Amino acid sequence: MKKEIDVARIEAAVKEILLALGDDPKRAGIAETPKRVAKMYQQVFEGMTYTNDELVQLFGVTFEEEGFSHNASDLVVVRDIPIFSYCEHHLALMYDMSVTIAYLPKEKVIGLSKLARIADMVGRRLQLQERIGKEIAEIVRKITASDAVCVYITGAHSCMTARGICKPGSTTTTITYEGEAFDENPELRKEFVSLIGK
């Protein structure tokens, strides 16, 4: 069952943060800020209201064509899906994120737009970039039963660019591999990366 985000509790917490910062929550410029932030959080953290298994159910529409066949080079690749997320360590924005998903079909192929929806919803959680890739790969595997899924992500983290070390322009890259085929054929990892053009 889908969880609900406690908007009233977020409003109260934001009001306390404004007080802790030494501002007046009743001041005209920020009087509505707690409500605005709560509404924003409800949207940007929507993925937290679903489990991964619920996302499998939500986006698990596949095409199972009679006579569908493939060979080892028939990869499905969806490149450069834009997403955003928030770092769980500082609640800082992860931005300019791009996700590329590649998988080796078996009997099932997933609608291409569903891959983008999965990536978007997984990002809408308190996250680590490494976990985003792992969760996307696990969901795609559960839907397609593929033996080989690769998720390539690049992104900028405001916890690095706007605070702490303050290095704007730095990016983080992660590559996640899921599936038995990678254990059976170590060269497949290299092939996946070369085929997704990274």
Active site residues: 87-90, 129, 157, 159
Q: Phi/psi of residue 102, each to 5°?
A: -130, 140
58 in helix, strand or coil?
helix
Rounded to whole angstroms, how far apart are CA atoms 119 and 102? 12
> Residue 194 and residue 188: Cα distance in Å, rounded?
10
Contact indicator for 116, 133 with CB cutoff of 8 Å: no
Burial tier of 61 (Cβ tally within 10 Å: 0-12, 13-18, 19+): exposed
Sequence letter at residue 52: N
Report yes or no: 108 and 143 within 8 Å, Cβ to Cβ.
Answer: yes
Cross-strand partners of 82: 98
